[in-house]
Structure 1
Amino acid sequence: MVRGGDCVGWRRRAAHVFWGASLVEAGALSSPLRGRVMGLRFDRKVTFLTSVVEKSDAGEMEAVSWQEGRKAWASYTPVSDGERLRAAAVEQKAEARFVVRWSKALALITGENRLRFEGADWHITGIKEVGRRRGLEISAWKIHKAGS
């Protein structure tokens, strides 16, 4: 029979063996899974962009530029060719999924925003919450290199 305390104690003992006792006791690591959520590595830096809008001559609001906003660590996964084929995608464009940790600020991101990753801007096509406020999965396709 496993009690809650035993499970935590086992994880701490495993961290001592894997990382070394000094790091765990110093509080640098609480477990060997630190830095991972849902089995993903958040090892890519992304920047969310917000549009700067102005009124056009026709009287419509129009995006004239993109301003850098919130930055976050993300997990990056390109969409596979098989998945694109099953979705009957015809256009040749780079598609990917980004997963970021959930926060109040990032929960406000919508399809009106863009994402900058590795020097390219990405158009956000979908956002869904993963788990109960554990993360946000963002589907996007590459638009162009930033600044061009």
Structure 2
Amino acid sequence: MTTDLGLKNFLWKSISIVILAIGIAGCRARNIEPAYGTYVADYGAATETLTLARDGRFVQQVTTRPDNHTVTSKGHWSFDQPTGFVILDSGYIETFDALGRLRPGYETPLTGVVDMPVVSCLGREYIGSGEFVLYAKKNPQRLPYAARFCGKIL
């Protein structure tokens, strides 16, 4: 009897994971419309604002804490429809290193191309991933805890 219960739990967990994975995979943007707008990433050491304009230009503003030092950068962006990625040509400010520490010389924008996925989760658009920087689109929140939930799974 315990084996049957363990098998049922395993099956339910497996089915839930598959459904969640399919749901997340199906949330990648396939057209440019959701990408336009202003996005915010707010984490302990800094706040970032990334604005993607319809004319193909972007503005990124980084404010570090606790000193409120602000750096602004501008560049051009495009949308790769097959992958659902935003591509930022040179000018992106990479604030943190791979370990999540403030990168020395972060004030100097990168000269290479940066690409990040555009994803919808629970009715809200995001750029990036929770592994590095996750920008949430500034728009009315449709579900109160969507940003917290989506930030953990993206």
TM-score higher than 0.5: no
TM-score, length of structure 1 as denominator length: 0.27
TM-score, length of structure 2 as denominator length: 0.27
User: Quick check: which has more Rg, 1 or 2?
Assistant: 1
